[in-house]
């Protein structure tokens, strides 16, 4: 068991979309190991793929889970290069202290909790991504 | 302290994208003041001061937070022109007083200051990490 990471691999079969100024790459996200653990602030995500071209870091990365069960919210935090972006994972926390607003922010996955922890199912998710890079 | 507003600024590093029918603009959203307050129904987000090639209302505006610390959702509600669209902010309910079952995501309460420690709504915008993609039809 170690600190978990993600690898985003650009699909070899679903070609990138090319628009006027951007490449839009699609692919799959894999966790390092089901028993690896999450870190507050996000798990490091490396974007990899032989066909990856484009300028610098992505402008935007969207992540979604194609499985129906155990949905969490995934947020990509852009890093300074392709190897140090982070993925923040959130869920709801029904026992959180109510705020003045009557609502509270979504809670981040617990630090040190394994990706295969019961109820969250991150390691069982079918995670896909779309990464947008400047040409 | 007044009702808060959002002001978009186009990105200098992520220029607009042009597709067959649409132009996609990227940028960040700033808040009027961290101590200004939320208003039920959303906060006005005017694109009037942004140099856009289109004067029509956007087809779609997506807003996301790139800070790791805050978990809120943002929903843009189109207005009748560039100046009166609104941004609705939502969180989750704790279970206290809600009961069993499922329920929609609740809106931030009316008059809550954006820098209230409960939600710290101002954090992402102040850090320049509240980002948007505004999609406009060409030629409108």
Q: What is the pLDDT of residues B31-44, one digit of tens each?
A: 999 999 999 999 99
Q: What residues contact B99, with CB distance under 8 A and at least 6 apart?
A: none
- Are the C-beta atoms of A63 and A127 separated by less than 8 Å? yes
pLDDT value for A96: 64
**Is B1 within the bounds of a domain?**
no
Counted domains in chain A: 1
pLDDT over 60 (residue A56): yes
**Is B69 within the bounds of a domain?**
yes
**Is A14 within the bounds of a domain?**
yes
pLDDT over 70 (residue A101): no
CB contact under 8 A, B71 and A60: no
Counted domains in chain B: 1
Q: What is the pLDDT of residues A110-122, one digit of tens each?
A: 899 999 987 678 8
**Is A17 within the bounds of a domain?**
yes
pLDDT value for A97: 65
**Is B29 within the bounds of a domain?**
yes
**Is A1 within the bounds of a domain?**
no
**Is A63 within the bounds of a domain?**
yes
pLDDT over 70 (residue B97): no
Residues of chain B in Cβ contact (below 8 Å) with chain A: 13-19, 24, 26, 38, 64-73, 90-97, 105-109, 112, 116, 118-120, 131, 133
**Is B61 within the bounds of a domain?**
yes
Percent of chain A at pLDDT > 90 equals 60
pLDDT over 70 (residue A98): no
Is residue A103 exposed (0-12), middle (13-18) or buried (19+ Cβ within 10 Å)?
buried
The most confident of A101-105, B27-31, B49-53, B101-105, by mean pLDDT: B27-31
Phi, psi of A7 (to 5 degrees): -120, 125
A82: alpha, beta or left, given left = phi > 0 and alpha = psi -120 to 50? alpha
**Is A106 within the bounds of a domain?**
yes
**Is B39 within the bounds of a domain?**
yes
Token pair of A94 as six digits: 């029904």
**Is B21 within the bounds of a domain?**
yes
Domain encompassing residue A81: 6-134
**Is A123 within the bounds of a domain?**
yes
From chain B, pick out residues whose CB is under 8 angstroms from the CB of A54: none
From chain B, pick out residues whose CB is under 8 angstroms from the CB of A102: 93, 106, 109
Average pLDDT over residues A37-58: 85
Least confident of B37-41, B56-60, B99-103: B99-103
Nearest CA in chain A to B64: A75
Q: How many CB atoms lie within 10 A of CB B3?
A: 13
CB contact A80 to B (< 8 Å): no
Question: How distant is the alpha carbon of residue A13 from its chain centre?
Answer: 21
Nearest CA in chain A to B104: A103
Domain encompassing residue B21: 6-137
**Is B54 within the bounds of a domain?**
yes
CB contact under 8 A, B109 and A103: yes
């Amino acid at each position: 068991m170690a600190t978990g990471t993600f690898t985003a691999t650009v699909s070899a079969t679903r070609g990138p979309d090319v628009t006027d100024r951007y490449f839009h790459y699609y692919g799959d996200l894999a966790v390092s190991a089901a028993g690896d653990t999450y870190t507050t602030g996000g798990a490091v995500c490396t974007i990899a793929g032989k066909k990856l071209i484009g300028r610098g870091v992505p402008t935007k990365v969207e992540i979604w889970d194609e499985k129906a069960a155990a949905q969490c919210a995934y947020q990509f935090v852009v890093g300074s290069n392709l190897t140090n972006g982070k993925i923040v994972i959130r869920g709801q926390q029904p026992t959180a202290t109510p705020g003045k607003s009557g609502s509270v922010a979504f809670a981040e996955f617990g630090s040190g909790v394994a990706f295969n922890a019961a109820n969250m199912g991150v390691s069982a998710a079918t995670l896909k991504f779309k990464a947008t890079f400047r040409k | 302290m007044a009702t808060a507003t959002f002001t978009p600024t186009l990105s200098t590093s992520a220029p607009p994208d042009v597709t067959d029918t649409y132009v996609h603009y990227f940028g960040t959203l700033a808040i009027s003041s961290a101590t200004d307050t939320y208003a039920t129904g959303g906060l006005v987000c005017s694109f009037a001061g942004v140099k856009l090639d289109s004067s029509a209302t956007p087809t779609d505006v997506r807003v996301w937070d790139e800070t790791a610390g805050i978990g809120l959702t943002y929903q843009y509600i189109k207005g009748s022109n560039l100046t009166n669209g609104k941004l609705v902010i939502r969180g989750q309910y704790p279970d206290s007083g809600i009961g069993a079952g499922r329920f929609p995501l609740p809106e931030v309460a009316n008059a809550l200051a954006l820098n209230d420690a409960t939600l710290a709504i101002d954090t992402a915008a102040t850090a320049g990490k509240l980002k948007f993609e505004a999609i406009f039809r060409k030629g409108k």
